Structures are given as C-alpha cells and as structure tokens.
Amino acid sequence: MTKKYFTELANYNNWTDRIIIEWLKQINDEQWEQPIRSSFSSVRQTTVHMVSAKKIWIDFWTKAADPVYLSAGFNGTKDELIEIWGKASDDLQNFIENYPEEDYQKPVTFIYPNGRQGQMIFWQTFPHFVNHATYHRGQLVTLLRQADFSSFSNTDLATYFIKNNLL
C-alpha cells in the first residue's frame, strides 16, 4: 500500500461523489423522499448514510474531539447535505495528501453507531471506507432507477482510471 494508491482511491471516491451529486441535483423532492424498500428507506436516507460514513471516517482518522454520526439526526435539505458532502470530499483530499505513509500501519480507533469502540489499522480502514461507499452507490443507483431517474453515467474504478489516463 502506497501513498499514490491511497491518493488515487481518494480521488476516485471524490470523483464518483461529484457524479452522484449531479444526479441528485436532477431529481425532485418526491424522488428524493419516495419510500423504497432497501437497506435505507429512500434516496434521501441512503445519501445521508453515505455522507455520514464519509464524514465520520474522516473524523476518526483525524482524531476529531467529538465525532458525531450525521445519520443520527440530520434534518436538513438535499442542498445542505450536498454542501456537507462537498466539504467532506475536500477534507478527505486534504487528509490523504497530508497523511504520512509511515502512519499507514498505525491503529485507528473508531466508535460504532451503537457506541461500542473498535480499532483497525489505517491501511485496513481506508479500503473499507472506499468499498463501503461503492456498495451504497450501487444501492443508490437501484433506488434512483425505482424513482424513475435514468440519467446515469458509469462510476466504476476502471472507468475512473481510463478517463484519467491512469492505466
């Protein structure tokens, strides 16, 4: 695991988030809130979970004083959530560019939503973070299709590498 590898994963994660944000800007409030059976009950709830996970992992990595799961009580608008998402993307970029490669072997302490504490090595948490986002992006595509949205573009890792001449 190298800094270049983690930097590209962060870049990929932010690239896909920008695409998703553009999709979400195209849907109306009914599509945003429409009840749909899935892990989370709507496009809104799935998106809140995704943004919450991104933000909380950054808080864990940076040892933020009081990390709070956004999903525990976010009541804002879609635009407010998108603004938080954009800031989290900037924070991720800044963090990964400045996180020393020699710290990749250090443990990261985190708190599960139920309050239980856990610990993993940084190099394990970062791919988990990216994989988690990918999993929920797939769910979001399915939810958006069910809400009659169809203006998708490809967000897989190979497409990112090809579009950015990284192959």
Residues annotated in a binding site for a divalent metal cation: 49, 132, 136
Residue set of the binding site: 49, 132, 136
Q: Give dist(CA 123, CA 161) in Å, integer.
A: 21
Q: Rg of the Cα trace of the chain?
A: 16
- Count Cα atoms within 13 angstroms, Cβ side, for 7: 10
List strand residue ranges (DSSP E) for 17-156, in order: 107-111, 117-121
By C-alpha distance, which of 54, 15, 4 is closest to 154? 15
- Count Cα atoms within 13 angstroms, Cβ side, for 33: 7
Task: State CA 93 to chain mean position distance.
Answer: 12
